Structure 1
């Protein structure tokens, strides 16, 4: 009777959660037993293209546990409709508690309001409705390359765990601000700035910075995760640092390329208003403090640069392992090899004071970069050995060269001529062996100099064979593989090679991936453009950039024929081409400038008998053209001497260009032990009547002069690098920027009343200038190999065109806040 009475009572209003649960139970009962039920799970919804990733845990089981996204959306809509019908006019029930995610843990103690901080009675329906779409867009594909994200949505992301208060500001002016940071808390700053640690110890990108008079330059653009200034220890629990504005000129590159636009500071943030005085309303610094990504006026996808605890532990063990570390860092593409290597480099270059460990690094760190596609301190297409003495804070395009740098130097470099070593593995291995010999020679002067080897993502097939060879033969102390989930066909040979070399193999988790605003190809273009526009004066410590287009830069005029011939030959790396095509292949290309240390450094010709020519006349030619100053070895006078370089040079019929080719089918490369790279140059034009090349190059003249004084001949090598499209479009973007500034100046003059009287003469002058700038833009747009999109067509594109983001096709996960504290 009691049950009957209960059934006769009117139905009470149910909550949205209860209605949703009831609906799920109905669907579960109607679902066949052999199909998974549409019950809510803790796993992320599948990506648009479900593919296997070595980073996934038990991929097959995860796939079975993943619910169908469309079914989940239908269930949510049904639950909301039931709730709307049965709870009209009734109070809404509290939603169930939500588990805290790693994103929520990043902001604990910071005072930031997140989804985890919502009160039980507050609504969050918008976030719940978009949950499935946002998660799917973040996960992406799992292959290994990059694709544009479809319809990216802005997400407010916590960036730091510290909020500045008035009492935390020690001093401030229009150029700098001095703040205190509490222990275990971090501050995120976007832009470019100098940091000076006055009290306490702070960590920054793997380096621990102690109080000293030294000031460190930091570049924090939005193209990469933003570095975190974290207080490790301080006086009375706080560290005191001063942040200063810098004017390096790198921001001016935005007038030459859209890739450099929207990557630095925007409008003032709430924290900036606190750090400025009341009479400095119009003042802007080159940096801004951000608490969350919503503070950014440009609404960019900003993320903090945190490091996983396993990375921190590995770096500590490698740094204090009891012996001189020689570490090879390898792994698949996009796994964080460069980031880990940069963290390890900075940590080794900033050891704790002698009072803590009894060790002080005075010998610097050797950095052997074997990745020609994404090098750290060099433009693409090269492998090199660098010797660093100071930490580096910034992405590669902020330090594309170490020429004339007081913080480091390139000991030796070799031009590979491609972004991947697979084009010529034999030449690549010989270059690596020569660089290792140079490192052993460096140890004679710096016996305690550790070594970091950055291996490229070429880790499969032949690349794996080269990697295992490097592990066995380079005399390493550790091998770090940046992936915990294999694949086994890569990890097992590496482990076997490490076992044979009697060194440990350390496996670490891959770097988490998220939306990035530049693809790998675009980052290479930015690095190349930065390389050609950077300069470093001998009396200035830090570099600066100029915004003059390469078409207007002062070129080097080099004779390629005649009595004042400055280059010995021009070689094309890779397949043989017809000499008639050399002009077209060379014009407008980026070439390597290589110094020859022997009369004939071509591989495979060291013991080949020379042609039947007059040995005395041949030695005189070498003496004149190579500049040996009478020091030609007597062996070259013999009939059994190797052929001279000139015997492999063919002069083109129309241009008289010295085409250097030796081999069959493909050109034999230069011997790394008998040649080295000075840098890159852009062939702006070929003047056939005067037999001159116009070269634009940032190579210091002292470097070229030293090579000539040592008797080294110079050749140009045309490889398979990316076409310099950035150089072709620079004049157009510069003209557009000038025209835009002029129009803005006219608008400001009219607004401020600077045009007095009738203003007829002044307006006429401004109109003439506008016509000149408009004609310059028209001429710049009418060039070969470039198509200018009209403004009307550009406006028809999506509104968020310039806010497009990219994502890596690999599994993403969150890291911890650890900064090796």
Structure 2
């Protein structure tokens, strides 16, 4: 009876074919079915397993059912909402700050200055303030529904023998060969002894320190010892405060990105310093060390990837490689690691070659560019490796590390919107690369092609293989499809170029969708600055609405803008103001009137002629007029249609704006048109482009054209003031709670004065929140109950808009 019962349980247990074969073999030998028990343990977790994800989600104000998701049939029956509805409901909670004072005090106890934890706001189920913008379907981080796992991150462990010295901002450690160390956060790394590998680069001892960004939105870079003195390498890690972490005060997308509370390794290295000391980075042994309980994974490259990078880098100055493949296959990661590998500052004694000419990086992916905001293709000349995702270097300042030689605004995140203009832009960038080779003959070329690999995208890719003079083609997918791999292989054979097929390496857990990463990158772009004398950029958490705009004349004797274009659609000139106000535009310089394609005698004639020889701004810009320099800016007379507000609408082509000719145009960057002042005929622009660049452009006889493409509206800029106001209130409540805890005074003569001052300050801060929430295209819901969510949803449906899904894998999420 006992044996029969055991056999019955064994047959009912799920197992694989291999396990079943082993079970039959053991059963024939009259042994106990131990393998069945092992299979049960592997396939199902123990009933008393601690639920770390549940505790973490309760801390973040997300209910267990929303985060854990359906795991069994019974839970699937209970969860009747669709994935899109679940994500929308989750986003409403993730983006919103709390309103109850008890929750505020709890949150303030966890937050400190810019070096404190990156902890999100606590949220309750009934009292959550929600912010909804125009198409806010991608304005908050996405949650994963899988259970957290204790995943190993570092092989090395810190102890008194491996820690050389440490203080509140610095940590110097030894790392043994074939051992690695994973860090989360921001830090400067200085190699003192030995050789380490980091994000594809091999770093040797030098006096130069490299800035590393390791956010939780991407797989963590791993510091690995390649070789060292006595089998050990010595590295110094130092905290850095550049303002990037403070962007969490103006956007929920930047919350839960950097390191949280001190880990066990941090506490071991912070002995003897202040109790509340925290660095901007944390050492993690496993993912369970993360206080915010996020899905953290180290980035270990596939062996085929590493072998391919090594083989490609051996071609040195003769390297011309095109990296292509389907979307989400790892093209950008491979290109970034290959770029760092080629730019590794190896000493001359290692292989007899020193890369002094840098690397040319031709980025043809307008949806996810590496060194510029979305909507552009460009050619960059880089001379140092970069360690971090794109939102940590959204622009280059032309320093010794790298510069953008030429860029063209495509006006969309996909080149399929205008393939002809895309191909012409590529041809011009190739001409720029040939000019670069005249100065740097040993400059390799890395081409990053978008995931637009079907249809016309395949035609463009095969055309590039035939005309680029490549040395290699890398395709990032072993699964084909054949209708893509076949033509690419044929084109490579005809061009006598070897083609390497590598396995794709997608990310297992995604905390931000592609649209969210684009939003983070462009927000980082507008808040970044490159102060003179600093090798690394800085970021400001001041909302754009509180920054000083640049005022540019669009009409009159001192006109600074030659024209305004709208790509991809035909609009009535009377609607131009509504189309451009509050929109993102490209600031493009043109060299000649031939830049405007479609110029003919049949083009509409301007209703008025204006000189455009000077740009005025609220900032002090020192410039001379073009007439004084003996230069004349390109004339757009005959193509400009003056709107009722006197806006210079470039109405070229057959009924719509034809794109600018790439041969005589260059994109300087992006700007947001904050307002159109019809009384003074000025445009107020918010842009990170230095004023000196705009002044030099006009001094050299070029004209400036603003191009409105099909990029998403800057909804993040609308809600910045609201989130900033909430953050200011939280910080003040934190100060009050800290003073009460320490029994200190806020500066008044007595307790009554302190309370009166605190009450008045809180009233002013909450009035700021109220004003910030009363803006167009944004809805604040103080009560997050189901009824209020339905009311807000009905209100939003009354507006004409295009909504986008925010969860990874959505059909509308395309990474072109």
The TM-score with structure 2 as length reference comes to 0.80
What SS class does the counterpart of residue 434 from structure 2 fall into? helix
Say if 2:167 is the partner of 1:173: yes
**TM-aligned CA deviation for residue 132 of structure 1:** 11
Say if 2:769 is the partner of 1:777: yes
Q: Is the 8 A contact 1:479 1:505 kept in 2?
A: yes
- Distance change in 2, residues 1:410/1:42 (3 Å): farther
Deviations 1:407-437 (A, max 9, x none): 1000011111111111111111111010110
**TM-aligned CA deviation for residue 166 of structure 1:** 1.8
Among candidates 662, 671, 675, match of residue 665 of structure 2: 675
**Structure 2 partner of 1:524:** 518
Say if 2:647 is the partner of 1:648: no
Which has the higher mean CA deviation after the structures are superposed, 726-735 or 499-508?
499-508
State how far apart, in whole Å, the 1-side matches of 2:550 and 2:388 are. Answer: 31
Say if 2:16 is the partner of 1:40: yes
State how far apart, in whole Å, the 2-side matches of 1:781 and 1:311 are. Answer: 49
Deviations 1:745-785 (A, max 9, x none): 11111111113875111110111010000000001000000
**Structure 2 partner of 1:687:** 677
Q: Is the 8 A contact 1:515 1:808 kept in 2?
A: no
- Distance change in 2, residues 1:580/1:132 (3 Å): closer
What SS class does the counterpart of residue 161 from structure 2 fall into? helix
Say if 2:324 is the partner of 1:330: yes
Deviations 1:644-688 (A, max 9, x none): 5221111112x1111111111432111101111010001111111
Q: Is the 8 A contact 2:585 2:706 kept in 1?
A: yes
CA RMSD of aligned residues (A): 3.5
State how far apart, in whole Å, the 2-side matches of 1:771 and 1:421 are. Answer: 50
- Distance change in 2, residues 1:134/1:153 (3 Å): farther
- Distance change in 2, residues 1:192/1:602 (3 Å): same
State how far apart, in whole Å, the 1-side matches of 2:450 and 2:145 are. Answer: 32
Say if 2:626 is the partner of 1:627: yes
Which has the higher mean CA deviation after the structures are superposed, 752-761 or 545-554?
752-761
State how far apart, in whole Å, the 2-side matches of 1:252 and 1:673 are. Answer: 40
Deviations 1:765-817 (A, max 9, x none): 111010000000001000000111315549999xxxxxx9954489xxxxxxx
Say if 2:749 is the partner of 1:760: no
Among candidates 649, 652, 658, match of residue 659 of structure 1: 649
Among candidates 700, 708, 727, match of residue 718 of structure 1: 708
Q: How does 1:243-254 map to 2 (within 5 A)?
A: 243-254=237-248
Say if 2:544 is the partner of 1:568: no
**TM-aligned CA deviation for residue 401 of structure 1:** 0.3
Give the aligned length. 696
State how far apart, in whole Å, the 2-side matches of 1:224 and 1:353 are. Answer: 31
**TM-aligned CA deviation for residue 153 of structure 1:** 1.9
Deviations 1:690-713 (A, max 9, x none): 111110000012221221121110
Q: Is the 8 A contact 2:669 2:689 kept in 1?
A: yes
Deviations 1:117-160 (A, max 9, x none): x9xxx9945679999949999xxx9xxx9996673322221112
**TM-aligned CA deviation for residue 352 of structure 1:** 3.3
- Distance change in 2, residues 1:487/1:629 (3 Å): farther
Deviations 1:149-208 (A, max 9, x none): 673322221112111122110011111010011111110000000000111110000000
Q: How does 1:586-605 map to 2 (within 5 A)?
A: 586-605=580-599
Q: How does 1:294-313 map to 2 (within 5 A)?
A: 294-313=288-307
- Distance change in 2, residues 1:319/1:258 (3 Å): same
Q: Is the 8 A contact 2:185 2:280 kept in 1?
A: yes
- Distance change in 2, residues 1:250/1:430 (3 Å): same
State how far apart, in whole Å, the 2-side matches of 1:604 and 1:479 are. Answer: 36
Q: How does 1:170-569 map to 2 (within 5 A)?
A: 170-321=164-315, 324-350=318-344, 352-569=346-563
- Distance change in 2, residues 1:569/1:293 (3 Å): same
What SS class does the counterpart of residue 733 from structure 1 fall into? helix
State how far apart, in whole Å, the 2-side matches of 1:767 and 1:279 are. Answer: 36
**TM-aligned CA deviation for residue 600 of structure 1:** 3.7
Among candidates 679, 695, 699, match of residue 689 of structure 2: 699
State how far apart, in whole Å, the 2-side matches of 1:513 and 1:593 are. Answer: 35
- Distance change in 2, residues 1:424/1:280 (3 Å): same
Q: Is the 8 A contact 1:383 1:413 kept in 2?
A: yes
Instruction: Return the index of the structure with the highest Cα Rg.
Output: 1
Say if 2:14 is the partner of 1:22: no
**Structure 2 partner of 1:60:** none
- Distance change in 2, residues 1:172/1:19 (3 Å): farther
Q: Is the 8 A contact 1:351 1:361 kept in 2?
A: yes
**Structure 2 partner of 1:730:** 720
Q: Is the 8 A contact 1:591 1:683 kept in 2?
A: yes
State how far apart, in whole Å, the 2-side matches of 1:674 and 1:224 are. Answer: 38
- Distance change in 2, residues 1:623/1:216 (3 Å): closer
- Distance change in 2, residues 1:296/1:718 (3 Å): same
**TM-aligned CA deviation for residue 11 of structure 1:** 3.5
What SS class does the counterpart of residue 645 from structure 1 fall into? coil
- Distance change in 2, residues 1:98/1:663 (3 Å): farther
Which has the higher mean CA deviation after the structures are superposed, 621-630 or 535-544?
621-630
What SS class does the counterpart of residue 390 from structure 1 fall into? coil
State how far apart, in whole Å, the 1-side matches of 2:806 and 2:260 are. Answer: 18
- Distance change in 2, residues 1:172/1:806 (3 Å): farther
State how far apart, in whole Å, the 1-side matches of 2:10 and 2:605 are. Answer: 94
State how far apart, in whole Å, the 1-side matches of 2:542 and 2:408 are. Answer: 29
State how far apart, in whole Å, the 1-side matches of 2:142 and 2:484 are. Answer: 29
Deviations 1:542-587 (A, max 9, x none): 0010111000101001011111111011110111100111111111
Deviations 1:250-298 (A, max 9, x none): 0110000000011011011011111112343211100000011110000
Q: Is the 8 A contact 2:514 2:808 kept in 1?
A: no
Say if 2:727 is the partner of 1:748: no
**TM-aligned CA deviation for residue 404 of structure 1:** 4.2
State how far apart, in whole Å, the 2-side matches of 1:297 and 1:19 are. Answer: 45
Say if 2:777 is the partner of 1:788: no
What SS class does the counterpart of residue 341 from structure 1 fall into? helix
Q: Is the 8 A contact 1:516 1:806 kept in 2?
A: no
Which has the higher mean CA deviation after the structures are superposed, 785-794 or 659-668?
785-794
**Structure 2 partner of 1:639:** none
**TM-aligned CA deviation for residue 514 of structure 1:** 1.2
- Distance change in 2, residues 1:629/1:299 (3 Å): same
- Distance change in 2, residues 1:265/1:149 (3 Å): closer
Q: Is the 8 A contact 1:166 1:274 kept in 2?
A: no
The TM-score with structure 1 as length reference comes to 0.79
